[in-house]
Amino acid sequence: MTNHIQILFVAALALASCGDSSVPAVPASGSLTKPMVEAVVTAATNAVADEDTLRAGLPAFAELPPGAVPINNVDLNNERGIGGSLTFTVAQSPKEVVNFYRTSIAKQGMPITKENISDYVTILTAESPDKSKFLEVNIGINENSVKSVNLIHLSKGAK
C-alpha cells in the first residue's frame, strides 16, 4: 500500500468517525491529486472536538508543535498495540513543522525511516530501533502554508 493511499485511508477513517462522507475515493492508480488533498483537509477541518480530549492519550514520543490546535483524534488500538491518529492545524510554515518533527523524532531516538516530499504533502515516518514505537507525520501543504497535520502513532505490544 503506498503512503498516499495510507494517508487517505487514515483520513477517511478519521472523518468517518465524524460522520463526514465527503472524502473522495482513491483512484485505481493510487495517485494523490491536489483536489483530493484539499477535500480531505477541508472535511477534517470541519470536525470539532474538545481540545483536552483530543490531546489525551498521546504517548511522549508523539509531540505536538507549539500552538497546535487539535481537530480530530481517532483511537487505532488493535492486537499490535495502542495507537491513534491526531489531526491538527498549526501557524508555522511547512519547513518549520518538518524541522520540529525532525528534531522531536531524533530526540526520541527514533531514526526517520522514510521521507516523502511533494508540493502538496510531506511525510516523515520513524520507528524506534526495537520496533516498539512507530510515528508517521503527514503535513498537508496549500500554497506554501500548512493546511493540516496528521500524526499517526503506535506503541507496539502495549495493551
Per-residue pLDDT of the chain (159 residues; tens, 9 = 90+): 344 444 444 444 444 444 444 444 545 555 566 666 666 555 554 444 555 666 667 888 999 998 888 888 888 887 878 899 999 999 998 899 999 999 999 999 999 999 999 888 999 999 999 999 999 999 998 877 888 999 999 998 755
> Distance (Å, rounded) from C-alpha 139 to C-alpha 122?
5
> Distance (Å, rounded) from C-alpha 159 to C-alpha 143?
41
> Distance (Å, rounded) from C-alpha 15 to C-alpha 36?
14
Task: Quote the pTM value.
Answer: 0.66
The region that residue 19 occupies, defined by phi over 0 for left and psi between -120 and 50 for alpha, beta otherwise, is left
**155, 83 in Cβ contact below 8 A?**
yes
